[in-house]
Amino acid sequence: MGKVIDGKKIAAEIQAKIEKDVAVLKERGKQPGLAVVLVGDNQASRTYVRNKQKRTEAVGMKSVLIELPETVSEKELLETVETLNHDDTIHGILVQLPLPKHISEDKVIDTISSEKDVDGFHPLSVGNLFIGKPTFLPCTPAGIIELIKSTGESIEGKKAVVIGRSNIVGKPVAQLLLQENATVTIAHSRTRDLEKVASEADILVVAIGIAKFIKKEAVKEGSIVIDVGMDRDENNKLCGDVDYDDVVSKAGYITPVPGGVGPMTITMLLANTLRAAKQIWEKTN
Ligand code: GUN
């Protein structure tokens, strides 16, 4: 029977450390601040943003929410980002994606100061990640690496297969696994014989966005299975891209949905915000 990787518990432990750090800083009159910009009325985005705000406040950081209507112009949004770039009380800026179609996400991300890029989406952060320089790591991939390390199993030399090639998860997590000296394969919807490719993985990261897509035939006995999916099953119940009940007895370790990768994402955002604040203060002192 596979061991469950308890993302909720691991996230809570890291969050407790961040909270302590923030408390010490506040005693010195310094408070890290995160600004989240939400455009429009996407209900899923609204829920994500509310959770980010709650957790930011829970660790004692300043949390600012800027809500803009669906009809906001690109120019206005870019000006909002510029204002936050110059706001000394804000150390991290996150513009919730997706944005309305009339706004270029690339332009918005390019405008966020790379010093405050706590999502790790700015091209400078992405480039630094690619060449192995210290930078802000995108939150979900960073959380995934923490979860894999929490098993105590080494990553070095292992065969890792990442299913999914998005800029937010698939590509950066593959890069991080490579830095940990895994042998990495990126598979995707066009990969031939995906099941066979996946079944050879010692570490399998699934971020394809299809409910219960991975069955036990696609999983190697004793492997580490990380499920990034946030899907709904036939009963509208939250589930992952991995068919948990089918796979759990075959995997060595597995993340549940909910309670696996999800809680780590916001925790890494808080860690990035704390780091951004420290770096900015170091520079200005
Ligand atoms: N939309 C879904 N996930 C994310 C994320 O991690 N960051 C931002 N900015 N938007 C998202």
3-state secondary structure 56-67: HHHCCCEEEEEE
Q: Per residue in 242-278, pLDDT tens?
A: 999 999 999 999 999 999 999 999 999 999 999 999 9
Output the CA angle 19-25-30, nearest 5 degrees: 120
Secondary structure element (H or E) that encloses residue 162, with its range:
strand 159-163
Which residue's CA is the closest to the ligand 1 atom numbered 9?
96
Annotated binding site: 164-166
Is residue 198 within 8 Å of 214, Cβ to Cβ? yes
The reported pTM is 0.96
For residue 94, the CA-to-ligand 1 centroid distance in Å is 8
CA dist., res. 259 & res. 263, Å (int): 6
Sequence length of the chain is: 285
- Rounded average pLDDT over 85-93: 98
CA angle centred on 257, ends 252 and 258, rounded to 5°: 135
Residue nearest to atom 3 of ligand 1 (CA): 97
* Cβ neighbours of residue 19 closer than 8 Å, sequence gap 6 or more: 58, 59, 60
Q: Which 8-state DSSP code applies to residue 72?
A: -
Ligand 1: nearest atom to the Cα of 265: 6
What's the CA-to-centroid distance between 167 and ligand 1, angstroms?
11
Residue ranges and CATH numbers for the domains of the chain are 29-113 (3.40.50.10860), 139-262 (3.40.50.720)
- Can you tell me the distance from the alpha carbon of 160 to that of 180, in angstroms, rounded to the nearest whole number? 11
Question: How much is the mean pLDDT over the chain?
Answer: 97
* Residue 246 bears catalytic tag: no
Query: Are the beta carbons of 122 and 112 closer than 8 angstroms?
Result: yes
pLDDT-derived band at 285 (thresholds 50, 70, 90) equals confident
Residues with CB under 6 A from ligand 1: 94-97, 119, 139, 168
Report the pLDDT averaged over residues 162-166: 97
Q: Is 52 a catalytic residue?
A: yes
- How confident is the model at residue 82, as a pLDDT? 98
The first and second tokens of residue 175, run together, are 């890069």
Over residues 173-190, the pLDDT tens digits come to 999 999 999 999 999 999
Residue 202: active-site member: no
CA distance 5 to 254: 6
**CA 138 to ligand 1: nearest atom:** 6
